[in-house]
Structure 1
Amino acid sequence: MTENLKRVIAEAENVLFDFDGPICRLFAGHHAHEVAESLVAWLEEHGRHVLLTEEERVSGDPHAVLRAVDRIHPGSDLVEELEERLTREELRAARTAWPTAYADPLIQTLKAVGVRLAIATNNSPRVARAYLADRGLTACFGPHVYGRTTDLHLLKPDPDCIRRALTSLGARAADSLMIGDTVTDLYAAQAAGVSFLGYARNEEKAKRLHAAGAETVVVSMLPVLEAVRQRSVQA
């Protein structure tokens, strides 16, 4: 366990989790590239595939497809329909999502030692709530689940969902920690003024986070859980 990890855990009065990654692998059984392909196919059926570049068509990233359409027709009925289709696919994916190892006990232990919790995600908040309910974790977060809206320009790296979470908690940014697994999570945390702990399920993702400026990155939630337990003993 590094000194940086012990320090950020010891100082955090509020912990904000990204959802897909730190809490679960949302698309473990219902793959993201298949969802992206279904969105592209729907646009093609309606003659709207011309809104996408070739790179966006084959990106395999459903959020990239959504952002591309919103860039040209922000706030339109088309964007609302596409966002709802993505939400339905995410809800399907939540039923086969893989819990991130040690995430459940980490969440429960943080709650038990008095840390206030929230979720700040680019996924639909409906999806995060459904997953939490299935895992018996709803009470750990209460109403503090913030995610994608139809204002897609406010997706991370914009800090909007982090700021909404902080406001709902009545929390100061200086007392808060964001746990995320992407560079956009890092940039959003920096913009909101909260500390950042990177989670990477493999070394390649860890390298990306370090290269973007993340000081503390873990490849397992176990040392984070151990740091929280150590904090509770020392309190």
Structure 2
Amino acid sequence: MNAAELLADAKVVLLDFDGPVTLLMPPPMNGEVADALRDVLRQHGAATGFPETTDHLAVLRWTAQHARSALEDVERAADELEVEAALRAVPTRGSAELLAHCREQRKPVVVVSNNAAVAVRAYLERWELADAVAGIVGRPQGHPERMKPRPDMIHDALALRGAVPGEAVLIGDSVTDIEVAQATGVQSIGYAKTPRRGEELAVAGADALAATITNLLLASGE
């Protein structure tokens, strides 16, 4: 099936947040947030060893594994900075229309994000989209090791709607989204925002690709 057919066939839509809904932390913001989390680690005496990356989620994962005593403070800083970013973020083109389409079709949408649920909620409320979402499964507080591509969050999202994997489709823009969809038996639509990303998602095993969210809607007859 193509992307539009997968969307039409699904009873529940699992939607990644950062990318398909909004670009939460465009450069250089992403690097600044990662730096801020490393500063918190330094305050806890972790002077070396943490990842030099612009991905703040990688810093969170590292903290959970190597500096557990600092996790509460690092996670609190991450939550606060994500909320700040969410209040400045703008919708990915077509994302609001996708939510409206799913609501009209009585397809509940559950946002499944490695970002904090409070940040997702702040964004949705700012853009008056909260009523278009049936649930939010955000980063497991205190347990960043359970983030995607671990299957836990997908299981939680399915349980929230009383659904089984074969009734759901996951729309995401990262290889980890495709990996977790395969691990849980959920169909996947890769949001291929660039040709290179499309190649990566295809290699990872995406069931279908959509170059834009708008194209996905147009193919669905919107």
* Range into which the TM-score falls when normalised by the shorter chain: over 0.9
> Conserved in 1, the CA contact under 8 Å of 2:190 and 2:201?
yes
**Residues 202-221 of structure 1 aligned to structure 2 (within 5 Å):** 202-221=194-213
2:196, 2:29 → 1: CA distance?
20
Aligned partners of 1:165, 1:204: CA distance in 2, in Å?
29
- Kindly state the Cα deviation for residue 206 of structure 1 after the two structures are TM-superposed: 1.5
Counterpart residue type for residue 145 of structure 1: I
Return the offset for 1:6: 2.9
Aligned to 1:233: none
Paired with 2:149 and 2:15, the residues of 1 have a C-alpha distance of 14
Deviations 1:57-99 (A, max 9, x none): 2x111011111111124xx441121111111110111122121
Question: 1:227 is matched with which residue?
Answer: 219
One-letter amino acid of the counterpart of residue 7, structure 1: E
SS in 2 for 1:204: helix
Segment drifting more, 198-207 vs 155-164: 198-207
1:190 aligns with 182
CA RMSD of aligned residues (A): 1.6
1:64 maps to what in 2?
58
CA distance in 2, matches of 1:29, 1:154: 26
Aligned residues: 221
Summarize the Cα distance change of 1:87–1:30 in structure 2 as closer, same or farther, 3 Å threshold.
farther
Give TM-score, length-normalised by structure 1.
Answer: 0.89
CA distance 1:228–1:96, change in 2 (3 Å): same
* Pair 1:41 & 2:35 matched: no
For residues 210 and 29 of structure 1, the distance between their equivalents in structure 2, rounded to whole angstroms, comes to 25
Q: Secondary structure at the match of 1:229?
A: coil
Deviation at 1:223, TM superposition (A): 2.0
For each residue in 1:149-200, what CA deviation from the matched residue of structure 2 results, as whole angstroms up to 9, or x when unmatched?
2112211100111111110111121010000010111111111111000012
- Note if 1:96 corresponds to 2:88: yes
Q: Indicate conservation of the 8 Å contact 2:113/2:137, yes or no.
A: yes
Q: 1:4: which partner in 2?
A: 2
Residue identity in the other structure for 2:66: I
Equivalent of residue 122 in structure 1, options 114, 120, 123: 114
Quote the Cα distance in structure 1 between the aligned partners of 2:167 and 2:177: 17
Query: Partners of 1:50 and 1:190 in 2: how far apart?
Result: 36
What is the percent sequence identity of the aligned residues?
A: 32
The answer to whether the aligner puts 1:17 opposite 2:18 as a matched pair is: no
Separation in 1, partners of 2:83, 2:28: 10
CA distance in 2, matches of 1:49, 1:199: 38
- Mean CA deviation greater in 26-35 or 80-89: 26-35
Q: Does the residue aligned with 1:145 lie in a helix, a strand or coil?
A: strand
Alignment match, 2:163 = 171
Partners of 2:47 and 2:66 in 1: CA distance: 12
- Report deviation, 1:201: 1.9
1:147 correspondence with 2:141? no
In 1, distance between residues paired with 2:176 and 2:93? 22
* Equivalent-residue separation in structure 1 for 2:121 and 2:221 (angstroms): 26
Question: Partner letter of residue 8 of structure 1?
Answer: L
Alpha-carbon distance in structure 2 between the residues aligned to 1:177 and 1:23:
15
What is the DSSP-based 3-state SS (H/G/I as helix, E as strand, rest coil) of the residue aligned with 1:71? helix
Give, in angstroms, the shift of residue 225 of structure 1.
1.1
The secondary structure found in structure 1 opposite 2:159 is: helix
Q: Deviations over 1:106-135 (max 9, x none)?
A: 111111111111011100011001101111
Name the SS for the 1:50 alignment partner: coil
Matches of 2:96 and 2:16, distance apart in 1: 14
Distance in 1 (CA, whole Å) between partners of 2:13 and 2:44 is 42
Q: Which moved more, 1:177-186 or 1:200-209?
A: 200-209
CA distance in 2, matches of 1:98, 1:109: 19
- Residue 26 in structure 1 maps to residue 10 in structure 2: no
Gaps of 5+ in 1: 231-235
